[in-house]
Amino acid sequence: MLLIVDPVSATLWIGAFAAGAGWIVVRNSGDIRSLRLSGAVALTLAAVATVHTGFDVSGKSHLGVFWAKGTQQMGTLFERWNTYSRVRVTALGESDPSGWGFAHTPETKIDQNHLDIDADAATVITRYDGDIGKLSYLKDDVINAAYLVQPPADVAVVGVGGGRDILSGLFFGAKQIRGIEINPAIFEVLTDKFADFSGHLDRQPGVSLVNAEARSYINHSSDRYDLVQISLIDTWAATAAGGLTLTENRLYTVEAWGDFYRTLKPGGLLSVSRWYDPDGHRGEFYRLVAIAASALQRKGVSAAELPDHVIALNVGNIVTVITRPDAFTNAQWQGARMRLLAQGFKILMGPDVTFDTVTSTLMSGKADAAFFASLPENITPSTDDNPFFFYTARFGEFVTKPASVHSINNAAISMTLLLIIVALCACGYYVISPLPASAISLSCFARSSAAQDWRSGQG
Encode pLDDT of 166-187 as tens digits: 999 999 999 999 999 999 999 9
Q: Which of 96-100, 177-181, 248-252, 406-410 has the highest mean pLDDT?
A: 177-181
**Main-chain dihedrals φ then ψ at residue 275, nearest 5 degrees:** -75, 150
Q: Are 96 and 109 in contact (CB under 8 A)?
A: yes
Q: Dihedral of the CA atoms 399, 404, 409, 410 (nearest 10)?
A: 0
Give CA–CA dist 400/63, Å, rounded: 45
Give yes or no for residue 414 having a pLDDT over 70.
no
Q: What is the mean pLDDT of residues 286-315?
A: 96
pLDDT (0 to 100) of residue 292: 97
> How many CA atoms lie less than 13 Å away from 262 in the CB half-sphere?
15
CA distance 83 to 123: 19
User: Residue 228: its pLDDT value, please?
Assistant: 98
3-class DSSP state of 428: helix
Taking 70 as the threshold, does the pLDDT of residue 415 lie above it?
A: no
d(CA 31, CA 47): 24
CATH 3.30.460.10 fits 139-374, yes or no: no
50-79: average pLDDT: 80
pLDDT at 379 over 70: yes
* Residue-level pLDDT at 418: 76
Q: From the CB of residue 211, how many other CB atoms can be counted at a distance below 10 Å? A: 17
CA distances (Å), origin 216, targets 177, 288, 324: 18, 21, 21
Q: How far does CA 441 lie from the centroid of its chain?
A: 55
φ, ψ of residue 127 to 5 degrees: the values are -70, 125
Tally of CA atoms within 13 A in the half-sphere of 296 that contains its CB: 28
Give the pLDDT score at 245: 42
The reported pTM is 0.84
Percent of the chain with pLDDT over 70: 86
Statement: residue 385 has pLDDT above 50: yes
Across the range 41-51, mean pLDDT stands at: 93
Average pLDDT over residues 260-275: 97
- pLDDT of 459 higher than 90: no
Q: Which sequence spans correspond to the domains of the chain?
A: 7-57, 72-125, 139-374, 393-435
Q: What is the mean pLDDT of residues 137-154?
A: 97
Sign of CA dihedral 243, 245, 251, 253: positive
Per-residue model confidence as pLDDT tens digits over 234-251: 765 555 454 444 445 789
What is the pLDDT at residue 449? 63
Distance CA(147)–CA(374), nearest Å, equals 37
CA distance 46 to 32: 21
Length of the chain: 459
Mean pLDDT of the chain: 87
In three-state secondary structure terms, 27 is coil
Which candidate, 446, 412, 60, 95, places its Cα nearest to that of 242?
A: 412
Answer whether 409's CB lies under 8 Å from 390's CB: yes
- Quote the CA–CA distance of 438 and 434 in Å, as a whole number: 6
CA proximity to 170, closest of 211, 133, 123: 133
Residue scoring higher pLDDT (397 or 190)? 190
User: CA–CA separation, 37 vs 388, rounded Å?
Assistant: 49
pLDDT at 453: 59
- Per-residue pLDDT band at 310 (split at 50, 70, 90): very high
**Per-residue pLDDT at 377 exceeds 80:** yes
Tens digits of per-residue pLDDT, 431-449?
A: 887 777 666 666 665 566 6
Q: How far apart are CA 2 and CA 67, in angstroms?
A: 20
- Which of 413, 408, 416, 417 is CA-nearest to residue 118? 408
